[in-house]
């Protein structure tokens, strides 16, 4: 499928401010700010990263509201051109740096609005990743609520039936055979409860939230970084265009994300290996931080909207969840992805860590395939 997933969404009138002019700090200022950011990262106990479409533009996936973004061109009556497919897209330097930073305990949670699957395919641990708007490569069973990560994008969007059936094994080795749906939210679909809950928890205890490549116009994702500020943490925003929360930023960096993060990586003395092939990591090797016991349940909002049109969002708590927020009670189910490559070698899946954060549902990894066409797909061992 073309990376123009936006074409599959329902019509939506106000998509926020598009085509705002970009700004760039000069090189010396950029270095200075990157150094300060590295210092903040080193001195913080909990770091949360918020990513938007600007993270994936260097992978060839267009953003939405940049000067040549999908919605910007749409406003001009123009059609964007796409050279690659989601399957061909390769994680950027910043995607891969985040994986390394998580490994060494310098990043603790990533909240992404991107559906391109690049965080997951870069090997960022799924239990420390909230993909609030879904993932083109992930399908979910209506019956057992297990997720399956595929090697190809879903044929549908908007939480619809994909025509595929769940192959998760039940007792006595029988397959579930429930119907799978895609996980891609359409406008105003409900966000996944568990990932939104975890995002709020992390943002509240974080000393540092870093926004990367988002103009923060879509709610509730756009409001999450402020939870860190409200609880005494710092906010750093890296984005070429102005954002909704610039006034709240302790450091505001105008630069290309990969350039900035290369400087940060140098300051942190982290080397980033080249990308070889999609690798799925289910769990972080780090245990979860201690979250305070909530005194009351409050939610910014549960549906995805542009805040240009949704001025009620911050007070519109506990909106009735739509179809996408079904949860199940299988909290004791431990994710176990059994994957072997066709030649019997160990798979591209890291599922061996002991500090397990068990999500509500287990993850059934169906495939982990190389990006190169015509190479053999790594088959599930069942």
358 touching Zn ion, by CB under 5 A: no
The backbone torsions φ and ψ at residue 284, rounded to the nearest 5 degrees and listed phi first, read: -70, 155
Question: Judged by CB under 5 A, does residue 178 bind Zn ion?
Answer: yes
- Comparing CB distances to Zn ion, the nearer of 182 and 258 is 182
In this complex, which beta carbon is closest to Zn ion, that of residue 148 or of residue 307? 148
Nearest distance in Å: CB 161, Zn ion: 13
CB of 144 to Zn ion, least distance (A): 3
Torsion of CA 85, 240, 122, 180, to 10 degrees: -60
Q: Nearer Cβ to Zn ion, position 167 or 194?
A: 167
Structure tokens at 92: 């950027």
The Cα–Cα gap between 143 and 314 comes to 33
Q: Which of 47, 88, 63 is CA-nearest to residue 372?
A: 88
Cβ-based nearer residue to Zn ion, 333 or 356: 333
Q: Which of 50, 133, 152, 286 does the annotation list as catalytic?
A: 133
DSSP assignment of 287-322 equals PPPPPPPPSS---S-SB-EETTT-TTGGG-TTPPP-
Helix or strand or coil: residue 164? strand
* 166 touches Zn ion (CB under 5 A): yes
Q: Which stretch binds Zn ion (CB under 5 A): 21-29, 64-72, 166-174, 212-220?
A: 166-174
Closest approach, Cβ 158 to Zn ion, in A, equals 20
CA–CA dist 322, 315 (Å, integer)? 18
**Per-residue interface string for the shown chain with Zn ion, residues 118-157, x marking contact by CB under 5 A:** -----------------------x-xx-------------
Closest to Zn ion by CB, 73 vs 180, is 180
Q: How far is the CB of 142 from Zn ion (least distance, A)?
A: 8
Residue 180 as a binder of Zn ion (CB under 5 A): the answer is no
Is the bond preceding residue 359 a cis peptide, omega within 30 degrees?
A: no
| Shortest spacing between CB 364 and Zn ion, in angstroms | 8
What's the angle, vertex CA 272, arms to CA 268 and CA 278, rounded to 5?
A: 140
Residue from 73, 90, 130, 176 touching Zn ion (CB under 5 A): that is 176
- Single out the residue of 48, 59, 107, 168 in contact with Zn ion (rule: CB under 5 A): 168
With CB under 5 A as the rule, give the number of residues binding Zn ion.
7
Q: Which sign does the torsion angle of CA 82, 83, 87, 92 carry? A: negative
**Is 152 noted as a catalytic residue in this protein?**
no
Q: Cβ distance 187 to 304 under 8 Å?
A: yes
Active site residues: 133
Chain residues in the site for Zn ion (CB under 5 A): 141, 143-144, 166, 168, 176, 178
């Amino acid at each position: 499928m073309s990376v123009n997933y936006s074409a599959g969404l329902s019509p939506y009138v106000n998509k926020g401010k598009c085509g705002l002019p970009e700004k760039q700090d000069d090189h010396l200022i950029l270095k200075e700010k990157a150094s300060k950011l590295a210092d903040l990262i080193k001195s913080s106990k909990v770091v949360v990263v918020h990513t938007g479409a600007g993270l994936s533009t260097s992978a060839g996936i267009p953003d939405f509201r940049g000067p040549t973004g999908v919605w910007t061109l749409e406003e001009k009556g123009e059609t964007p051109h796409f050279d690659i497919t989601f399957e061909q897209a390769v994680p950027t330097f910043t995607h891969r740096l985040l994986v390394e930073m998580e490994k060494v305990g310098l990043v603790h949670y990533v909240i992404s609005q991107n559906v391109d699957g690049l965080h997951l395919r870069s090997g960022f641990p799924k239990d420390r990743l909230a993909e609030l708007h879904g993932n083109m490569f992930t399908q979910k069973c209506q019956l057992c609520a297990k997720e399956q990560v595929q090697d190809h994008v879903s044929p549908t969007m908007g939480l619809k039936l994909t025509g595929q059936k769940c192959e998760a094994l039940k007792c006595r080795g029988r397959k579930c055979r429930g119907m799978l749906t895609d996980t891609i939210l359409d406008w105003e679909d409900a966000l996944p409860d568990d990932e939104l809950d975890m995002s709020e928890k992390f943002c509240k205890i974080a000393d540092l939230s870093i926004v990367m490549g988002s103009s923060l116009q879509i709610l509730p994702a756009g409001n999450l970084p402020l939870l860190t500020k409200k609880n005494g943490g710092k906010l750093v925003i890296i984005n070429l265009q102005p954002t909704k929360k610039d006034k709240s930023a302790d450091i505001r960096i105008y630069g290309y994300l990969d350039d900035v993060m290369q400087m940060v990586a140098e300051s942190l003395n982290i080397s980033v290996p080249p990308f070889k092939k999609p690798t799925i990591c289910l769990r972080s090797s780090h245990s979860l931080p201690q979250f305070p016991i909530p005194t009351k349940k409050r939610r910014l909002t549960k549906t995805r909207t542009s805040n240009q049109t949704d001025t009620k969002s911050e007070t519109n708590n506990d909106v009735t969840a739509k179809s996408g927020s079904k949860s199940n009670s299988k909290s004791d189910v431990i994710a176990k992805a059994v994957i072997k490559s066709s030649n019997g070698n160990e798979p591209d899946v890291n599922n061996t860590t002991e500090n397990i954060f068990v999500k509500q549902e287990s993850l059934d990894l169906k495939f982990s395939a190389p990006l190169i066409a015509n190479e053999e797909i790594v088959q599930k061992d069942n």
